[in-house]
Amino acid sequence: MIGQRNTKARENIIKYLKKINRPVTAHEIYSSIGKTGEKINLTSIYRNINLMKKKNLVHSIILNDKVERFELLENKPHHHHIICNQCGRIDDIEMKENEIETKVKNKTCFKIKSHILEFFGLCPNCQ
């Protein structure tokens, strides 16, 4: 990690986020790493995730269930998510939101700094 000592905990968190490749909660990270036999506590997960967020290695999202989830930003362009209301499946969805931002900006005269755009529905398996 840039400017930080690379600890076993950080390595395990990054390894898990690369493997899972979807937004996950700190508890999911904790549970998964714990199953491998590695020793880590939830406080360490949060501390490391927050450090990774500051270094722009990890991004957090909060969906309509108000639970914070984390995903690795490595080689990922700006994207949004589509979430299944039944099974909780979360997929990335890339889209050109410049048109949407321009319309909102023109309609409201806001200077847009950031946005959150997520879609909810039923995945093909739950339909």
Q: Which domains does the chain have, with CATH numbers?
A: 8-72 (1.10.10.10), 80-121 (3.30.1490.190)
Mean pLDDT calculated for residue range 32-48: 90
CA 30, chain centre distance (Å): 15
Instruction: Give the model's pLDDT for residue 54.
Output: 92
Phi, psi of 19 (to 5 degrees): -70, -45
Summarize pLDDT for 108-121 with one digit per residue, the tens.
999 888 777 889 99
pTM, 2 dp: 0.74
Relative to beta strand 118-121, strand 80-84 is: parallel
Mean pLDDT calculated for residue range 62-74: 87
